[in-house]
Chains A and B, each alone.
Chain A
Amino acid sequence: MRAGFRQSMTRLHTWAGVVIGALLFLIFWMGSLSVFDREVDRWMMPMTRLAPASASGLASLDTTVRPVAEQLAGGASPWTILLPTARVPTLELRYPDGAGEIVRRHVDPASGRLLAAAGSAGGNGFFFPFHYKLHLKAFDLGYWLVGLAGMTMLVLLVSGVIIHRRIFSDFFTFRPARAMPRATLDLHNLSGVLALPFHFVITLSGLIILFAIYFPVAWQTAYAPAGPDARQAFNREAFGTWRRPPAGVPGPLASLDAMLAAAQAQWQGGRPYMVRVWHPGDAASWVEVRRSFADDITMNLDTVYFDGVTGAVLHRHQARPVMRVQRFIAGLHFVQFEHWTLRWLYFLAGLAGCLMIGTGLLFWLEARRARHLRQGVAGVRLVEGLTVGGTAGLIVATLAFLVANRLLPLDLAARPAIEMNVFFAAWGVTFVHAGWRAAHAWREQAWAMAVLATAAVALNGLTTGDHLLRTLAAGNWAVAGVDGVLLLGALVAGGVARHLRRRGAEAPAVGGARAAAGGRG
């Protein structure tokens, strides 16, 4: 019975891993990049590389972003204004254009100057949504695929621990000189065990963030009396979402600065991070001011709602206890608190996840390569193509995205979409290449990573003048950090490519996946 249990868990671990592995790698990779999404934004949007906002006093919204919003967005609802933070030196304005697409513009908080359109989705607009909805819009398909992958990840972690006889001794076991499958498995176990608590918490918390999507039946049942407004009624009670219909008659917007001051008084010194103006210019407009959680793990729901015309407080919300637990778990995942050491650890642990997934796939391949070749089965060939494209190819595409960002002219129409198309085109090419070159593809894509990462750093220096020496001297850590990681990734990828050539072309090495974790964009 016991042997049977372990055997069934081994089978489950093997096949769930092979089927979902590439999708999990994608989610872990994009999640790892999203840890530094704001820094990638600075790198990809040179016009926003301002000196950090002064820590004292808030910028005035009435004299800076408001005139810009009135001019650009007019009565489009809502205006979303994100205040400067330690990681973002600009005021960011978001509003829906005529087609309902969200426009993002940046304003210098010191002068109120509207900065040139970024022409890029950046890390926050491309990597981050990729991480949780895969850029698939229809029927929430992206969310559900990510949810399926998340549950599979939890099953893989549980079954992985169960099939592990010697979880602690394996922790100290790495035999890189041993035969290929053994060394790959060692690295899979090492990265898996080392970051096991992180992997479990990050996966479960990711699912819990989207609980209302994955278990809609909960609010549908409890709020059934509200009929078609069930979701709204739930959001009102759980998240404090407050709204009213617009009046349809004009009414002037009161001072936003006064509302910020009133909100801060309500929070006894807590600072705002976001202001949202609903139906600006309408007599029934209202303004939502949300409290910052930059110094806290819990992503609080302390929101104050003001009447847009009179500036009077309409509604104030604070999360109840269970919801506060949910916001704490969400905060563990979103890592929006300001702590650089922890931020780097999240990044490294995320890459450890990529390494674990990549080496797991490689072990599957290595353990079957000889047998499938003998039997003439196409399994290894197919999975290898998907694995190369899904791991190394994904990194190549990410780097191509960054290179395209530095090469495309800024005044290009639909520039953000072109950047993304470069990503998907490059990714497609890596799959074709993997199918064509088989085992050689690992080495060749490692070279591509090295070349593209180096090119991205060189192009950043050439097109913006912000080369590494200057950014380091100026303390521009966001841009210097991205450049530094790119150079480090190029070195690792180049080293792996050389290592693979020495081993000969007969088999890919564990290094392919090590590059997968190291050659970061």
Chain B
Amino acid sequence: MASRLLAAVGAGYACTAAAVALASVALPLAFGMARSEAVVLAAMAGFLLYLMVLVWGFAEPRLARVWVVLVGGVVLCWGLAQWLAPLAAARVVPAG
């Protein structure tokens, strides 16, 4: 039970936060959004993503699968975010 709690709540948050970080640098690159707008949109969507992750994390019968998906998600999203961040910084849309 402790492992599931840690997976769903802890790893779930880490995975969501990594996805939010990725979106905050990817949205400006993909759609030319201002960075402040990307930050707000990514963070707002993050709450709904976290909600889905939490429900799934408690519903999925195979606990190992929860761990694999969430830790994998953290590594993938965080890696991509770190790779894209310098590219996004190079073409910052000036604030109006």
Chains A and B form a bound pair: yes
Known: A12-B58, A215-B20. A326 touches B39 (CB 8 A): no
Contact B59 A9 (CB under 8 A): yes
Known: A208-B44, A237-B34, A237-B36. A221 touches B59 (CB 8 A): no
Residue among B17, B36, B55 facing the most chain A CB atoms (10 A cut-off): B36
Residues of B within 8 A of A12 (CB): 55, 58-59
Contact B89 A215 (CB under 8 A): no
Number of interface residues of B (CB under 8 A): 37
Contact A238 B59 (CB under 8 A): no
Query: B54 is contacted by which of A8, A155, A237 (Cβ under 8 Å)?
Result: A155
Least distance between A197 CB and chain B CB atoms (Å): 16
Contact A322 B95 (CB under 8 A): no
Least distance between A430 CB and chain B CB atoms (Å): 30
Least distance between B82 CB and chain A CB atoms (Å): 8
Contact B46 A218 (CB under 8 A): yes
B85 within 8 A of A: yes
1/0 per residue, CB under 8 A from B, across A292-308: the answer is 00000000000000000
Q: Which of A213-257 contact B (CB under 8 A)?
A: 214-215, 217-225, 234, 236-238
CB < 8 Å A-B pair total: 111
Number of interface residues of A (CB under 8 A): 38
Contact B50 A320 (CB under 8 A): no
A204 within 8 A of B: yes
Query: A322 is contacted by which of B37, B46, B96 (Cβ under 8 Å)?
Result: B37
Contact A238 B39 (CB under 8 A): yes
Contact A322 B41 (CB under 8 A): yes
Query: A237 is contacted by which of B25, B88, B95 (Cβ under 8 Å)?
Result: B95
Least distance between B79 CB and chain A CB atoms (Å): 12
Least distance between A308 CB and chain B CB atoms (Å): 24
Q: Give CA–CA (A234, B28) in the complex, Å.
A: 14
Contact A158 B46 (CB under 8 A): no
A4 within 8 A of B: yes
A207 within 8 A of B: yes
Contact B61 A215 (CB under 8 A): no
A323 within 8 A of B: yes
Contact B20 A218 (CB under 8 A): yes
A-B contact pairs, 12 of them (CB 8 A): A5-B59, A8-B59, A12-B58, A12-B59, A151-B50, A154-B51, A208-B44, A211-B44, A214-B43, A218-B46, A234-B36, A238-B36
Q: Closest 10 CB pairs between A and B?
A: A237-B36, A211-B43, A238-B36, A237-B95, A215-B43, A221-B21, A322-B37, A222-B24, A218-B24, A225-B89
